[in-house]
Structure 1
Amino acid sequence: MRLRNKPWAKPLIKAHEAMIMVTPEGMQGQWQDRFANHQPLFLEVGSGKGQFIIEMAKAHPEQNFIALELQEAAVGMILKKQIELELPNLQLILGDGANLTEYFAPGEISGVFLNFSDPWPKTRHEKRRLTYKDFLAQYQAIMTQEASLQFKTDNQGLFEYSLVSMNNYGMVFDFVALDLHNDARVSDNIETEYEQKFSAKGGRIYELVAHFKPTVD
């Protein structure tokens, strides 16, 4: 969802360079130096207003997190919260999810989260979907061999597409839920802002967790 322009976002971002990167190119292999502790590093691609990644950082102080968001207004809203919270295990990037291999080194990321990504329903926009094969290749390039990809959506069409795309790519499914909020296997689901609003109206949430097959040297 495209947010309205926030005139305050740009100067706020410029004033807090210790919390957010606007030129992440060339940072491959150096991200741990931006955190208080060197810990497993997790990435959310498309963080929106940041509720999910902030709650993850609070719940898991033993892990480091990066929120990647393309919209300046959205990342500005996350930054506002982070300025107040000062979570030592959270960093932000104003950047494009299509450029991950320019931002991260091979094997630098211990897990990727995709939450309520734009479904891009038109066939001609397939390459923009965050579970398209070209994106999967980038996730695989930056993730450890033990890492998992977690994907949540309310869009059945995108969920079905993602299942097929990941299967065709050769990924292994660890968990699939067709109604996440009524799935007895789930006890620790951290919700996004959109997820809370949508599910409160009776909407169904889909989730899958998958990993890449280990590469053979």
Structure 2
Amino acid sequence: MRLRHKPWAREKIEQHPQYVIPNPEQYYGRWNALFDNGFPIHIEVGTGKGRFITEMAKANPEINYIGIELQESVIVSALDRLIEADVPNVKLLHTNGEDLRKFFAKSDVERVYLNFSDPWPKKRHEKRRLTFSAFLNIYEDILVNGGEIHFKTDNRGLFEYSLQSFSAYGLLLTYLSLDLHNSDFAGNIMTEYEEKFSAKGQPIYRCEVKYQNER
């Protein structure tokens, strides 16, 4: 799907630093100072238009959420959603998932969400997949010991690849569903893509994995 360019997006982002955090490196190792509490931090890498992260923040006021999104023309939609919701426990970062180590220290983050990530189906693009081993190493470097990844997708090929990647990395599988919406999983919050694909009758795949080794 072609992304519609929004030439005004950067200016709008810059006008709302209370939501889209400028110079996030200043909070390295001390993100709780930004939220002014000691609650755990969960991040979503590839937050898209922000439905999931905003609704999670509403449902769990005792958790701080940070949405990571690279595309300006997408993150402004998430910004609009945050402005409307006006919840204090969610922020956005306009950055690349490859750069997370620049902004988060070890144990800054308790959980990583990966929702409907780009599958990058061609073999030569494997390193761009957010469940590729190099990304798993990045997440491990910022997560608490025993931190978790929660992963959802409609793409069976990406799901199978990700399960193999998780296993090869040594992650512990703690939850698995090959048809989330027809399972007994409670409290699911859908993304925009999830609602679209589910309405077409496509199964939604979901898993939770946990890092086992202390570093």
Q: Tell me the CA shift for residue 30 of structure 1.
A: 2.4
Aligned position for 2:207:
208
* Distance across 1 between alignment mates of 2:29 and 2:67: 17
* Distance across 2 between alignment mates of 1:157 and 1:135: 18
Gap runs ≥5 in structure 2: none
* Distance across 1 between alignment mates of 2:35 and 2:131: 29
Task: Indicate the SS of the match to 1:20.
Answer: coil
Q: What CA deviation, in whole Å up to 9, does each residue of 1:16-59 have, x standing for no partner? A: 11211243335311222221433100000000101000000000
Aligned position for 2:198:
199
Aligned position for 1:181:
181
Q: Tell me the CA shift for residue 147 of structure 1.
A: 2.0
On the 8 A contact 2:27/2:34 being kept in 1, the answer is: no
Q: What CA deviation, in whole Å up to 9, does each residue of 1:38-93 have, x standing for no partner? A: 31000000001010000000000000000000100111111112122221000100
Aligned position for 1:148:
148
Task: Indicate the SS of the match to 1:49.
Answer: coil
Aligned position for 1:57:
57
Aligned position for 2:25:
25
Which amino acid counterpart does residue 91 of structure 1 have in structure 2? K
The TM-score with structure 1 as length reference comes to 0.95
On the 8 A contact 1:22/1:95 being kept in 2, the answer is: no
The TM-score with structure 2 as length reference comes to 0.96
Matches within 5 A, 1:3-42: 3-42=3-42
Q: What CA deviation, in whole Å up to 9, does each residue of 1:145-171 have, x standing for no partner? A: 132100000001100000000100000
Q: Which moved more, 1:103-112 or 1:207-216?
A: 207-216
- CA 1:3 to 1:22, structure 2 compared with 1: closer, same or farther past 3 Å? farther
* Distance across 2 between alignment mates of 1:215 and 1:34: 27
Aligned position for 1:77:
77
Which amino acid counterpart does residue 198 of structure 2 have in structure 1? S
* Distance across 2 between alignment mates of 1:27 and 1:36: 12
* Distance across 2 between alignment mates of 1:92 and 1:2: 23
* Distance across 2 between alignment mates of 1:85 and 1:183: 29
Task: Indicate the SS of the match to 1:76.
Answer: helix
* Distance across 2 between alignment mates of 1:86 and 1:70: 22
On the 8 A contact 2:46/2:69 being kept in 1, the answer is: yes
Q: How many residues align?
A: 215
Gap runs ≥5 in structure 1: none
Which amino acid counterpart does residue 55 of structure 2 have in structure 1? E
* Distance across 2 between alignment mates of 1:126 and 1:25: 28
Aligned position for 1:135:
135
* Distance across 2 between alignment mates of 1:76 and 1:105: 27
* Distance across 2 between alignment mates of 1:12 and 1:81: 13
* Distance across 2 between alignment mates of 1:138 and 1:112: 11
